[in-house]
Amino acid sequence: MKPIAILETGKPPEALADAFDDYPARFRALLGEGVATVRFDVQAGRLPADPEAFQGAIVTGSAAGVYDDLPWIPPLMDWLRGARGRTRLVGICFGHQAMAHAFGGRVQKSDKGWGIGLHRYAVTAHEPWMFPKAASIGIPVSHQDQVLSPPADARVIAASAFTPYAGLAWDDAMSFQCHPEFQPEYAAALVESRRGTRIPEALADEAVASLGRANDRAVLTAWIRAFLMLTPPPVEGEGSGI
């Protein structure tokens, strides 16, 4: 099987870097042992020369916005448009927004403010790779930007009142606003690092408390693995527990 490209578009805050893994390491853990990966530092100008050399590509989260005037963002958008149909694409948080932006949607900072803590999304449509099936998923989030208008050819697969376009799917791409690769401990540490400066105290309290509840990271991980064809589909009539 060909390797998975991990397009690293951001890093954990410096204050948390010693205590927690970087984002590529978390996605390697999510994909599981035995899955070959190649990391590309997108901010340093590195992108896969040939998308077809990879089983798929994952675009990570970032503190940047797709609308920021940064030299690495236009090449990433061009790469995503050129890679469609040549490899399978997965976008997480910034990656979700980047794919929506590249494919014709609209992304900007939401007037709803910070989305932090454990958010629950209703599953609004089921794709073939979405097994085990779930009516909703609760996953850690950390974002201010949102997809406000999805691309015309995208299917909305997850939504909430706070994030109406939380999950999108195309025939050869899928993306989610949430962070299945975030351990609750890291998501809580991220909130605490911004408490009282960027995030109001009351919202921080609510977010940290929510992260103590059960989450569905394993479900979304199974979906990503199935989409990337790392997991065989279940035999019809058999359950698919996780």
Positions marked catalytic: 93, 179, 181
Distance CA 138, CA 133 (A): 14
Distance CA 157, CA 177 (A): 11
| Dihedral angle computed from the Cα positions of residues 56, 121, 102 and 151, in that order, rounded to the nearest 10 degrees | 120
CB burial class (10 A; 0-12, 13-18, 19+) of residue 164? middle
Distance CA 4, CA 15 (A): 29
Which residue type, as a one-letter code, is found at position 203? Answer: L
90: nearest Cα among 177, 26, 15: 177
Question: Can you tell me which residue has the tokens 């992304």?
Answer: 107
Which residue type, as a one-letter code, is found at position 180? Answer: P
Distance CA 85, CA 70 (A): 27
Whether cis (ω within 30° of 0) applies to the bond prior to 234 is no
Distances (CA, A) of 105 to 41, 50, 152, 157, 176: 25, 25, 7, 16, 14
